[in-house]
């Protein structure tokens, strides 16, 4: 099989397994295949194996075969998601539940990082912290836009005799000097149990840091671990955009069917082979590329796409020349990917395992996806960008053992642009 499109289609169908292949055939037999394409008579596919299915599809759909495949796969994933929709809970509800469970379980850790909490949310959290039955020891509120007013509400309850909190993360919460002042008052009280406080990625300023350091003079001061770096005015941008980074494509990695334009900010998969020089870092099997940015801290970026593509994070040690899954983003233990089609994001991949995701089809949602990675924390999150907010799609929690590099897989007739 010399046609690279046929090889890609064969790989995809082989990964489906028997049950999903039957479902795939069912969609192909529909008189109106997703996307408005003509379907097959039932007799044509009744006994067709994978190779015969590939041949029939390439013959019928020609240059649109990958587009048809992508649309059908999206329908299959939507069908699976509908079956479990009654069990679906929003990320915020699930994590808030952890807080209430934490009240009853001694030593529980409550993780509410990046949950779009605000000052009003702090009112509810404050009542939990000061509850007589509260046994919450560790609370992570990082990457929520709490601001000084929200921290003031929390600080009031940190001084409560019923608050048992020992570790608190307020990293990336838009805190300035005023918020530091509220925290110092709470920490100086005789009843505060707090021993560890993370205020990194805020802007306490010299005066705020001075207040925190001076708190050590109080006899009741129990804090022994304080983090305030990095800090600065640049971290007062609301949301995850405070961590924005400018990506640069590594031209030595670009597959020869990927065409660069717009000062190397746009990538399009084309039929014509591009005249790139030979290089050991160049991908030669799949239409992929890597960026030159090695990510070591917190980073955020957005891309806009049309067609079918994978947004990926990969170790630089990923294979380039092998004809196996070792060099395909998402199909090995060295890369993580978000799979997007014309209809939107529909799955994530890691170590050759696919996880279906739910993606809104609202008209306010753009053809942009966003990525947030916190390498030291081992967190990688994908989002759909809407007109006024980020819609969470999936988060990987792991331990990254090498430096991460952004990458893309762009399929025939598709494109992706760095925002």
For the domain made up of 241-418, the CATH class stated in words is: mainly beta
The answer to whether the peptide bond before residue 186 is cis (omega within 30 degrees of 0) is no
**Structural fold of domain 4-77:** Death Domain, Fas (1.10.533)
Residue extents of the structural domains in the chain: 4-77, 94-236, 241-418
DSSP state letter for 219:
T
Cα dihedral sign, 3-7-8-13: positive
> Rounded to the nearest 10 degrees, what angle do helices 147-158 and 119-129 cross at?
10
d(CA 406, CA 289): 9
Going across the sheet that includes 335-341, the strands are 288-290, 404-410, 309-315, 335-341, 344-350, 353-356
Nearest partner of 109 among 40, 180, 168, judged by Cα? 168
d(CA 47, CA 236): 61
The per-residue pLDDT for 110 is 66
The per-residue pLDDT for 83 is 55
The per-residue pLDDT for 107 is 45
d(CA 145, CA 120): 11
Q: Write out the DSSP string of 230-251.
A: SBSGGGGSSGGGGGB----B-G
Single pTM value for the model: 0.74
The per-residue pLDDT for 125 is 76
Residue 225, class by beta-carbon neighbours within 10 Å (0-12 exposed, 13-18 middle, 19+ buried)? exposed
The per-residue pLDDT for 77 is 73
The per-residue pLDDT for 304 is 95
The per-residue pLDDT for 101 is 45
Is residue 401 a contact partner of residue 379, using CB atoms and an 8 Å limit? no
The per-residue pLDDT for 306 is 94
- The CATH label, of 1.10.10.60, 2.60.40.10, 3.30.70.580, 3.80.10.10, for the domain at 94-236 is 3.80.10.10
The per-residue pLDDT for 361 is 60
d(CA 137, CA 311): 37
- In tens digits, the chain (419 residues) has pLDDT values of 567 788 888 888 888 888 888 888 888 988 778 777 888 887 878 788 888 888 888 888 888 888 888 888 877 776 666 554 434 334 444 444 444 444 434 445 667 888 888 877 787 777 777 776 667 788 899 999 999 999 999 998 888 888 888 899 999 999 999 999 999 998 888 778 889 999 999 999 999 999 999 888 888 888 889 999 999 999 999 999 999 999 999 999 999 999 999 999 999 999 999 999 999 999 998 999 999 999 989 999 999 999 999 999 999 999 987 767 889 999 999 999 999 988 888 899 999 999 988 776 655 678 899 999 999 999 999 999 987 789 899 999 999 999 999 999 999 999 999 99
d(CA 325, CA 119): 47
């Amino acid at each position: 099989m010399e046609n690279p499109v046929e090889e890609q289609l064969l790989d995809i169908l082989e990964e489906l397994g028997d049950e999903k292949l039957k479902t795939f055939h069912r969609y192909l037999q529909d008189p109106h295949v997703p996307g408005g394409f003509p379907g097959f008579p039932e007799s044509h596919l009744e006994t067709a194996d994978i190779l015969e299915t590939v041949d029939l599809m390439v013959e019928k759909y020609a240059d649109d075969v990958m587009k048809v495949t992508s649309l059908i796969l999206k329908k299959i994933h939507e069908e699976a998601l509908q079956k479990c929709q009654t069990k679906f809970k929003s990320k915020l509800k699930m994590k808030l539940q952890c807080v209430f469970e934490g009240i009853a379980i001694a030593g529980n850790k409550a993780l509410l990082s990046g949950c779009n909490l605000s000052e009003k949310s702090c009112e509810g959290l404050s009542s939990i912290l000061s509850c007589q039955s509260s046994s919450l020891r560790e609370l992570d509120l990082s990457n929520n836009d709490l601001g000084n007013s929200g921290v003031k509400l929390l600080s009031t309850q940190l001084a409560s005799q019923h608050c048992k909190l020992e570790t608190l993360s307020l990293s990336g919460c838009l805190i300035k000097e005023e918020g530091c002042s509220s925290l110092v008052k709470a920490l100086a009280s005789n009843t505060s149990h707090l021993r560890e406080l993370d205020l990194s990625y805020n802007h306490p300023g010299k005066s705020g840091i001075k207040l925190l350091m001076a708190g050590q003079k109080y006899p009741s001061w129990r804090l022994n671990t304080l983090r305030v770096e990095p800090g600065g005015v640049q971290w007062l941008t609301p949301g995850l955009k405070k961590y924005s980074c400018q990506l640069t494509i590594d031209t030595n990695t670009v597959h020869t069917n990927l065409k660069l334009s717009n000062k190397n900010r746009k990538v399009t998969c084309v039929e014509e082979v591009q005249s790139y020089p030979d290089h050991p870092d160049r991908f030669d099997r799949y239409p992929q590329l890597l960026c030159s940015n090695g990510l070591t801290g917190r980073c955020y970026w957005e891309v806009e796409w049309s067609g079918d593509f994978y947004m990926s994070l990969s170790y630089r040690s990923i294979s380039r020349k092998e004809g196996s899954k070792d060099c395909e983003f998402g199909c090995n233990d060295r890369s993580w990917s978000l799979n997007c089609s014309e209809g939107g994001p529909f799955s994530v991949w890691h170590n050759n395992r696919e996880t279906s995701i739910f993606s809104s089809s609202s008209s306010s949602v753009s053809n942009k996806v966003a990525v947030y990675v916190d390498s030291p924390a081992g967190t990688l999150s994908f989002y759909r960008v809407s007109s006024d907010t980020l819609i969470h799609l999936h988060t990987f929690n792991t331990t990254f053992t090498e430096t991460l590099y952004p990458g893309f897989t762009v399929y025939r007739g598709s494109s992706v642009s760095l925002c």
